[in-house]
């Protein structure tokens, strides 16, 4: 995760997938999505408090 934004006791982190995987039957499947994690600081540790996944990702 390279895109992390912290504001006080909350943060958002974005993980992107821009690759492809081999399919058992042959060929490949393109992975082109992103997930967003919402985090809250509890004491000295960060905890995931929410998640939105498999959103479209258009690099560039």
- pTM, two decimal places: 0.72
Beta partners for 14?
A: 3, 36
Domain residue extents for the chain: 3-56
pLDDT score for 4: 95
Residues 22 and 28 sit within 8 Å (Cβ to Cβ): yes
Give residue 60's pLDDT.
65
Place of tokens 């985090």: 39
Q: Going residue by residue through the chain, which has 60 residues, state the pLDDT in tens, using 9 for 90 and above.
A: 779 999 999 999 999 888 899 999 999 998 889 999 999 999 999 999 999 988 888 766
* Residue 29 three-state SS: strand
Counted residue by residue, the chain has a size of 60
């Amino acid at each position: 995760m390279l895109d992390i934004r912290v504001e006080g006791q909350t943060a958002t982190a974005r993980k992107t997938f821009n690759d492809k995987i081999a399919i058992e039957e042959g060929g490949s499947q393109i992975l082109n999505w992103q997930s967003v994690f919402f985090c809250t600081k509890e004491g000295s540790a960060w905890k995931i408090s929410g998640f939105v996944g498999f959103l479209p990702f258009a690099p560039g």
